[in-house]
Chain A
Amino acid sequence: MKKPVQLEVNGKPAAGVAEPRTHLADFLREHLHLTGTHIGCEHGVCGACTVWLDGAPARSCINFAVACDGASVRTIEGFDDDAVMAQLREAFAAEHALQCGYCTPGMLMTARDIVLRLPDADEARIRKELAGNLCRCTGYVGIVRAIANVLKSWHSSNG
């Protein structure tokens, strides 16, 4: 039986009804038409579906929409005005950190988490933190470099 789901998505209220088995990624994509969140493995391994959930990164494919009722969700569409994400977008472009772009929304979520949570991360730590986001075409060199560049510039100008 379908159940009501009320969320705050990208700063605005979003309501719908969903079967309990509908995971958050499908709810975002199919019900709210926010298709920037990508679905890869659908069992929590690849990281493509990573979104910001109640202020922290989370897998939207293994969190059910009904269980997120009342939560605040921020998808890739909701970061247009985010200062860290603006720097990451530029750095990803400059360092050739995306090719097909499938993993990119999830990569950017994890990248933002690294920049804000781990100001002292070196390359090894960036790679470890990125282990939960799989890229199958571009390779990680450019992604790691882009994140390292933003880490450096963000923390030299903010603190």
Chain B
Amino acid sequence: MKPAPFDYVRPDDVPAAIRALADGDVIAKVIAGGQSLGPALNLRLAQPERLVDIRRIGALGEVTETADSVLFGACITHAAIEDGRVPDATGGFMQRVAMDIAYRAVRTRGTIGGSLSHADPAADWISALTLLSAVVVIEGPEGRREVGIEDFVTGPFDTQLGPADILVGVRIPRLSARARWSYYKFCRKPGEFAEAIAAVLFDQNRGISRAVIGATNGAPHVIAQADFLTKGFDAAQAHAAVDASGAGDDPYERQVHFAALQRAASQLAAVQA
């Protein structure tokens, strides 16, 4: 239950952090809040030779608002979002998701960028931000690039990040004032990783009727045309969506994902009424 030995560096800025990741033959890994990586290190599931700590790089804690989006720095904590200490462009959706991530003592340290980089299928942000069609901002040895989140997450615990890339921020499109959303996750115990996630968004002004099935065996499953959830509930189509989602063949897995979808649809209907 103690990590294997590693070296630790805390560069002052992003270019220095990229150099520390790209430097030499060592296997290096980025750490920010460390709330997923810390356990993985303690359990020796991860055994990097060097940790590059980016948590205190000031630029990664900033928020930039534009007319149609809000750019969150990677090191903004779940607690900052939960507490409303950062701007919200989603009519409370981000806050709703943040407040149910793990436990308060985890949310005070864990970061939105760290969670996305870790890409655990059962974690919240990869599903929630896929619903919003967020854009991930990456800096690396080749410069800066922006990648749509559906292309960013390539599989369970797998992303487009190269060995010396750093996820520096995530751009969240603004919803209209008429947007309605719901987010339902099933956990055996509050704060545990989810067994099923369903998120639904209906924004008539933006022409969005969209849903995501999460906590599957792969990347979040997008339902780009989700009228069968946003305008009533069609069980047959919901079953078909679960079949296509990568939730697996296990009857329990299928049922729990179906139930999450049904409940998310019913919550959406309640806020629309």
Physical interaction between A and B: yes
Interface residues of A (CB under 8 A from B): 1, 3, 19-21, 23, 26, 42-45, 47, 50, 53, 56-59, 61-64, 66-67, 69, 109-110, 113, 117, 128-129, 131-133
The contact of B5 among A19, A43, A63, A131, by CB within 8 Å, is A19
Between B3, B4, B34, B38, the greatest number of chain A beta carbons within 10 A of the residue's beta carbon is seen for B38
Give the segment of B65-73, B103-111, B162-170, B237-245 that binds chain A: B103-111
- Nearest to B38 among chain A residues (CB) is A62
The contact of B34 among A26, A57, A63, A113, by CB within 8 Å, is A63
Give the segment of B13-21, B39-47, B113-121, B249-257 that binds chain A: B39-47
The docked-state distance in angstroms from the alpha carbon of A132 to that of B103 is 5
Known contacts being A66-B8, A67-B8, is A44 close to B53, with CB within 8 Å? no
The answer to whether the Cβ of B2 comes within 8 Å of any Cβ in the partner chain is yes
| Interfacial chain B residues near A47, Cβ < 8 Å | 103, 105
Q: Can you list 28 contacts pairing A with B, beta carbon distance less than 8 Å?
A: A1-B7, A3-B8, A20-B5, A20-B7, A21-B2, A21-B41, A43-B43, A44-B35, A47-B103, A56-B79, A56-B108, A59-B35, A59-B38, A61-B42, A62-B34, A62-B35, A62-B38, A63-B34, A66-B8, A67-B8, A67-B55, A113-B104, A113-B105, A129-B103, A129-B104, A132-B103, A132-B105, A132-B106
| Interfacial chain B residues near A131, Cβ < 8 Å | 103, 189-191
- A98 vs chain B, min Cβ distance (A): 19
Known contacts being A42-B42, A43-B39, A43-B43, is A132 close to B5, with CB within 8 Å? no
A58 close to B42 (CB less than 8 A): no
The total of interchain contacts (Cβ-Cβ below 8 angstroms) comes to 92
B104 close to A67 (CB less than 8 A): no
B42 close to A43 (CB less than 8 A): yes
The answer to whether the Cβ of B1 comes within 8 Å of any Cβ in the partner chain is yes
A20 close to B190 (CB less than 8 A): no
- A125 vs chain B, min Cβ distance (A): 11
The contact of B42 among A23, A66, A67, A110, by CB within 8 Å, is A23
B6 close to A59 (CB less than 8 A): no
- B97 vs chain A, min Cβ distance (A): 15
Known contacts being A66-B8, A67-B55, is A23 close to B38, with CB within 8 Å? yes
A128 close to B190 (CB less than 8 A): yes
The docked-state distance in angstroms from the alpha carbon of A132 to that of B102 is 8
- Nearest to A106 among chain B residues (CB) is B105
- B263 vs chain A, min Cβ distance (A): 18
| Interfacial chain B residues near A43, Cβ < 8 Å | 1, 38-39, 42-43
- Nearest to A127 among chain B residues (CB) is B190
Q: A23-B38, A47-B105 are in contact. List 4 more A-B contacts (CB 8 A).
A: A20-B6, A21-B41, A56-B104, A62-B39
B42 close to A62 (CB less than 8 A): yes
List which B64-117 residues lie within 8 A (CB) of chain A.
Answer: 79, 102-106, 108-109
- Nearest to A60 among chain B residues (CB) is B105
- A19 vs chain B, min Cβ distance (A): 7
- Nearest to A66 among chain B residues (CB) is B8
- Nearest to B77 among chain A residues (CB) is A56
The docked-state distance in angstroms from the alpha carbon of A23 to that of B41 is 11
The answer to whether the Cβ of B261 comes within 8 Å of any Cβ in the partner chain is no
B34 close to A64 (CB less than 8 A): yes
The contact of A20 among B8, B43, B191, by CB within 8 Å, is B8
- A47 vs chain B, min Cβ distance (A): 7
| Interfacial chain B residues near A50, Cβ < 8 Å | 105
